[in-house]
Structure formats: structure tokens, C-alpha cells
Amino acid sequence: MKEVGKPLLSNYKLVTGYVVGGIVITATVIVGYFGFRSYFDKPKPTVQTQTTQTQTNPLAQFNGTYAGNSSANSGVTSATATITNGQISGTANYSGAENIQIGLTVIGTVEVSGNVTGSFSGTGSASGENFPVNGTYSGKITANLFNLNYNGSGGGESASGSINLSKK
């Protein structure tokens, strides 16, 4: 039975030491486990590779020089156009009344679909008079053939027609 004046746990100090020691050892193991894991289980660095995409200009398919003649006696009788990435620049010849020949400057644009729009202008002279010519054109490029319709006016006359230019 219980002796008077003696604590219930006779080895109270001894048991307390074991409990504190067990807690310390358990805490050390837990901290060591997570420290080991965080040090050795680091995620591997990811290697990023950079790829370069090559984009082609869809308008480049129309690049080149186109030229052609018309059988018309008046209006645009010949033309040469250079297309670079959808931009048209070139020259044409306009035959007017009294066989006046006027050099024209041609500008325009090409869409991805091959549709073409633009304008032309120039000035010629005969008998001491200047004859300005201005006009517009539209058309389409298919299979290396540039078909266009034009409307122009100048010097008191107007002309409309078509001309076909082939890729050189």
C-alpha cells in the first residue's frame, strides 16, 4: 500500500527524464527527416529550350515582275509591274487622242487572296499642252497571270479596258 508522505510515482524524476528525453529524440528525428528531405529532394531544375518559329509572308507568293501588252489603240497599251510583299510599283504606257503617248506611274496593293487594287497617273504633252492622266485599276493574280481592269481619264477623254500581265 501507499506509504504516507511518499509521492504516488516514486520515481517521478526518473520518469520525467525519460519522457523529456523521448520528446527531444522524437523532435530531432522529425526535424532531421524534413531537413534531409528538403535538402535532397529538391526539384530538379527545368531546362527551357527556346524555339524560333519561321513565319513566311503569304504575300511573297506574288513577288516578281509582271509585264504585258494590250491590243487597244487607246488607253493602257503596255504595263510592267513589280510586286514585293504585297506592294505594287511599276510603269505603263497610255495612248491618247492624236496618238499622244503618256508614261504612267503605277502603284497598288495585293491581298492574300490575290485581289489587286491600285492607281496610275502621269502627264504628257502635245502641241504645247499638258495632258494629265489619272485612273484606277483592280483585278486578280492567279497562276502567275495578273489580269486587271482599268478606268482612266485625262485631257478631255476617258478610257477603260483590261490588260493581262504575265510573270517574268
pLDDT digits (tens, 9 = 90+) for 125-156: 878 888 889 999 999 999 899 999 999 988 77
Average pLDDT over residues 117-124: 94
| Shared domain check, 40 and 19 | yes
Residue 50 falls within a domain, yes or no?
Answer: no
| Shared domain check, 84 and 31 | no
**Measuring CA to CA, which residue among 164, 158, 166, 149 is closest to residue 75?**
158
- The pLDDT assigned to 122 comes to 94
| Shared domain check, 97 and 37 | no
| Shared domain check, 64 and 30 | no
Lowest pLDDT segment from 28-32, 82-86, 113-117, 152-156: 28-32
Task: Give alpha helix (H) positions in the chain.
Answer: 12-40
Distance CA 136, CA 120 (A): 6
| Shared domain check, 144 and 70 | yes
What digits encode the pLDDT tens for the residues 6-60? 555 555 555 566 666 777 777 777 777 766 666 666 666 777 777 777 668 899 9
